[in-house]
Amino acid sequence: MRLILLGPPGSGKGTQAQRLVKRYGIVQLSTGELLRSAVAAQTPVGLKAGDIMASGGLVPDDIVIGIISDRLDQPDAKKGFILDGFPRTVPQAEALDRLLKTKHMKLDAVIELRVNESALLQRVESRVAEMRARGEEVRIDDTPEVLTKRLASYRSQTEPLIHYYSERRKLLTVDGMMTIEHVTREIGRILAAIGAVEAKASRKPGAAKRIARTGARKASKSAAGGARAAGKGAKASQKVGNPASKGAKKPLRKAPASSKARGAAKAVKAPKKVTKKRAKA
């Protein structure tokens, strides 16, 4: 299962990604974590990214793609993955398509969590107010002001991906304003439907023909066997004595007369002999 989760900040992508990881045993690939891990591991790509990040610059797409490529080669990614936070732009999506093609992989679905932005802002405002009322510390990036800027960035950069993946028939939209449980169930239902379709589509094109040919051979063998059995039965019936077949070749013999019938016949013939002798006398 290879997925991309799309949605503006606060849509619940992270929560749903964690649930999908537990349910399907796949890995979550977050570009931020991948970059930090590559830098910590001092991989060739990580060293390039580290220098750029240290200077405060944005990591180029080719370096991010290189880090994702290295991560996809690891054994735990063979079962599948969820890309969270990448791609963010159409050029990144095109680069990801090229990467997956070289690895002979394909995306199963791009799930968009569609939400109402004004409702999101109200959620954040309520959550911040509750946290402050409890005396909890509020994150800098979890305020209505920051969220407003992030939503604007999402609309300008990431929203075009909806059209991009919709054209490629990969986009599936879920109402992100539902409860967490409802969203989870809806995603599970969609993925189950995709799995059923994939199972049918995964059959090789020649499979149906091979099945048909096998069935035809079995049917012809069965018919030939039936014909041979019928021929043997006909020969056997001729040997045993089929009245219909014998009647066509030889006339039926007369049944032998009983002893009483023979005696009666002699009794009838006897007077004739006596009459002849009297006539001679």
Q: How is residue 142 annotated by DSSP?
A: S
Number of domains in the chain: 1
CA distance 210 to 190: 32
Going across the sheet that includes 81-84, the strands are 27-30, 81-84, 2-6, 109-114, 171-175
Question: Does residue 186 form part of some domain?
Answer: yes
pLDDT of residue 248: 45
User: Which tokens sit at 236?
Assistant: 């056997």
For CA atoms 48, 53, 56, 62, the dihedral sign is positive
- The answer as to whether 245 is a domain residue is no
Q: Count CA within 13 A, CB hemisphere, residue 5.
A: 29
- 228 falls within a domain: no
Structural domain includes residue 197: yes
Kindly list the catalytic residues.
13, 88, 127, 139, 150
What the block records as the tokens of 269 is 């013939």
Q: Is residue 170 part of a domain?
A: yes
Confidence check: pLDDT of 184 > 50: yes
Look up tokens 């014998």; give the residue: 246
Mean pLDDT of 148-164: 89
Whether residue 215 is contained in a domain is answered as: no
CA-wise closest residue to 103 among 85, 128, 81: 81
Q: Determine what percent of the chain is predicted with pLDDT higher than 90.
A: 32
Range of 190's domain? 6-21+109-206
Task: Determine, yes or no, domain membership for 46.
Answer: no
Q: Residue range 76-90: average pLDDT?
A: 90
Close Cβ partners of 38 (under 8 Å, ≥ 6 residues apart) = 45, 46, 49, 67, 70
112: nearest Cα among 1, 2, 11: 11
Q: Is 137 left (phi over 0), alpha (psi -120 to 50) or beta?
A: beta
Share of the chain above pLDDT 70, in %: 68
CATH code at 201? 3.40.50.300
